[in-house]
């Protein structure tokens, strides 16, 4: 039985190595580490920007990404939006996702890319860490979720 287990382990390791060389993916992630898929960019934004155990927080972050994607002032791809300088967590597109939060992020990314949106986010395109408040009169807070405060920037009359 021990020989069978070692042989199976070697076969699994070989299969994973071949899949990564071929650019195949698991849970929507490109193991070849070439160009990132739209799903992986979305996963990474949600994983690094929200409480990794909060599907609601991940959905809210994903909604902000999609709100920006639909605005002509922002890039026209999920990866372009997430990769914008000084907009999301440093290293969001390069740091490893190391815990089970990646599985949740994969599931929620599928939902967002299929049209799901957090209704509380409304038209918000911005968020910051919960508990912080800034004195600017153009920030209209709409939701707190996943450790973040989501807000719209509105013109002050």
- Which 3-state string (H, E, C) describes the chain? CHHHHHHHHHHHHHHHHHHHHHCCEECCEECCCCCCCHHHHHHHHHHHHCCCCCHHHHHHHHHHHHHHHCCCCCCCCHHHHHCCCCCCCCCCCCCCCCCCHHHHHHHHHHHHHCCCCCCCCCCCCEEEECCCCCCCCCEEEEEEECCEEEEEECCCC
pLDDT (0 to 100) of residue 94: 94
pTM score of the predicted model: 0.77
Query: Among residues of the chain, what percentage have pLDDT more than 70?
Result: 78
Give 10-residue mean pLDDT values along the chain (157 residues): 52 41 39 75 96 92 98 97 94 92 96 98 96 90 95 87
Tens-digit pLDDT profile for residues 91-131: 999 999 988 899 999 999 999 999 999 999 999 999 999 99
Tokens representing 40?
Answer: 């992986």
pLDDT (0 to 100) of residue 128: 95
pLDDT (0 to 100) of residue 157: 72
pLDDT (0 to 100) of residue 16: 40
Which residue is listed with tokens 């899949």? Answer: 19
pLDDT (0 to 100) of residue 100: 87
Contact between residue 111 and residue 22 where contact means Cβ atoms under 8 Å apart: no
Partners of 149 in the β-ladder: 128, 144
pLDDT (0 to 100) of residue 10: 54
pLDDT (0 to 100) of residue 7: 56
């Amino acid at each position: 039985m021990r020989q069978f287990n070692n042989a199976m382990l070697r076969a699994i390791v070989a299969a994973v190595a071949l899949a990564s060389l071929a650019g195949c993916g698991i849970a929507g992630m490109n193991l070849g580490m070439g160009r990132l898929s739209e799903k992986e960019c979305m996963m990474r934004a949600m994983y690094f920007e929200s409480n990794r155990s909060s599907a609601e927080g991940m959905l809210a972050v994903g909604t902000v990404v999609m709100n920006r994607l639909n605005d002509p002032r922002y890039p026209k791809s999920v990866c372009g939006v997430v990769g914008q300088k000084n907009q999301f967590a440093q290293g969001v597109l390069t740091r490893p996702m190391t815990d089970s939060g990646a599985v949740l992020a994969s599931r929620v990314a599928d939902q967002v890319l299929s049209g799901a949106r957090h209704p509380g986010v409304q038209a918000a395109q911005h968020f910051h860490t919960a508990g912080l408040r800034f004195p600017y009169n153009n920030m209209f807070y709409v939701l707190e979720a996943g450790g973040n405060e989501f807000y719209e920037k509105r013109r002050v009359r």
